[in-house]
Amino acid sequence: MGLQALKGKRLKKKTIRSRARTGLAGVPVDKGFNAIKNYFHLEVDKKDCVNQVKKWVKKNFPQPSKYILANPEYHFTMTHHAATAFWYNNDLHKSNDAGEDLAKDFLNNLFDKMIPLIETGKVLYQQKRAEQKAKATVITISPQMRLERKIKNTIMQELLELEDQWIEGEDTTINLYDRFKSHGLTNTAISHVKPQVEGWLLDYEDAYFKRCEQAVEGYSHVKKSSLKHRINVCKSMLEDMERIKSASKANRTIRISKPKAADKQVSKLQYKNLDDEYKIVSMHPIGIIGKRRLYTFNVKHRELNMYYTDDPKGFQISGSTLKRFDKEQSTKIRLRKPNDILPLVLNKTPIQLQKELSALKTKVQIPNGRINNDTILLRVLDKWS
């Protein structure tokens, strides 16, 4: 076909179709309320329906809208309610009479639907506010509360289990010193545990020695041997707590009040930090410098060394040797029953301790002042008595 023929033939013009509008963008706003209602039913998704109803609520219920909107979302998903809200949100009732009467009926229905939601929403609104406030409130647990909680969940729970076993007729026991150590508890926990153990001991002794009729009657079903066992366990626990208290005192950080040379004196000193067999702990050696009395215990040979000095400057240490102690008054004895004597060394006064030791039939020797890896530094005193 030639060029002239193409010019004589009329060409068709191409047209581009516009994309069909959907959702709220495609609402037939010029076809009346009924058409809008049907369109919302078929074409508008749930989220847009909810937004139209909530927008209408905020506009027509300025004050109580926060209560209405606190209700669950399903109250705002009805498509005819959404269509009604859209009709009045966009003031279509002012420029379109088609379906106005039907729109008013649905509007009244919408009001009737929202009014009861005010009261139910108040409760939900207050609950939500309370939950938000609770989340915003940071609960701080004090160190004392944290300690009490730890004691309750550890050592006190084990004591209750021990009591349950006794009630069931078992003659079980507990090593309180080891349990404190296992749970990382110090002497601060003793005030919580000691009253419980002392209460048991009083009841069991009242029943065993028949000092209280009520206790005798209350434990009449328990064998006397079992009562004796419980008494011994309670006494052992009280002794362990005294050892724990002494160990905690020994581990306290000591403020260096002496010249700086004091810490240099003990820098090379070798000693035993703690001994699990006898449940004793060494004090810090810097506390020896300048003191007048020193008690040490050699765990290998079971030797108790009691050093004294009348030197105004007190004890001094050179390498691994204690200096300036009085060899005439200082003594060394071998203990047959260390567990009976060591608590006395830790808690009694020198005079009281001397009375207890004088009853022992053991050879008294002169200590050499040597301190080594088998030596526990038990206690120091700044006075003679």
Calpha distance 164→170 (Å, rounded): 9
- Number of folded domains in the chain? 3
Query: Would you say residue 157 lies in a domain?
Result: yes
371 and 265 both lie in a single domain: yes
75, containing H or E segment: none
Query: Would you say residue 29 lies in a domain?
Result: yes
Q: Judge contact between 198 and 238, C-beta under 8 A.
A: yes
121 and 201 both lie in a single domain: no
223, containing H or E segment: none
Query: Would you say residue 256 lies in a domain?
Result: no
Is pLDDT above 60 for 372?
yes
pTM of the model: 0.45
Calpha distance 12→345 (Å, rounded): 119
Could you report the per-residue pLDDT of 50-102, keeping only the tens digit for each? Answer: 999 999 999 999 888 999 999 998 888 888 888 889 988 888 888 777 667 88
221 and 279 both lie in a single domain: no
Helices in the chain by DSSP H: which ranges?
A: 3-8, 33-43, 46-60, 65-68, 79-89, 100-136, 143-153, 155-167, 176-183, 190-208, 213-218, 224-250, 261-265, 338-347, 350-358
Could you report the per-residue pLDDT of 354-368, keeping only the tens digit for each? Answer: 899 988 888 999 999
Residue scoring higher pLDDT (248 or 331): 331
Is pLDDT above 60 for 17?
no
Is pLDDT above 70 for 293?
yes
271 and 227 both lie in a single domain: no
Calpha distance 71→111 (Å, rounded): 15
Residue 172, judged by CB atoms within 10 A of its CB (0-12, 13-18, 19+), counts as: middle
Residue scoring higher pLDDT (255 or 238): 238
Query: Would you say residue 13 lies in a domain?
Result: no
Q: Which domain, by its residues, includes 266? A: 261-381
Q: Which among 380, 184, 166, 369 has a CA at the least distance from the CA of 286?
A: 380
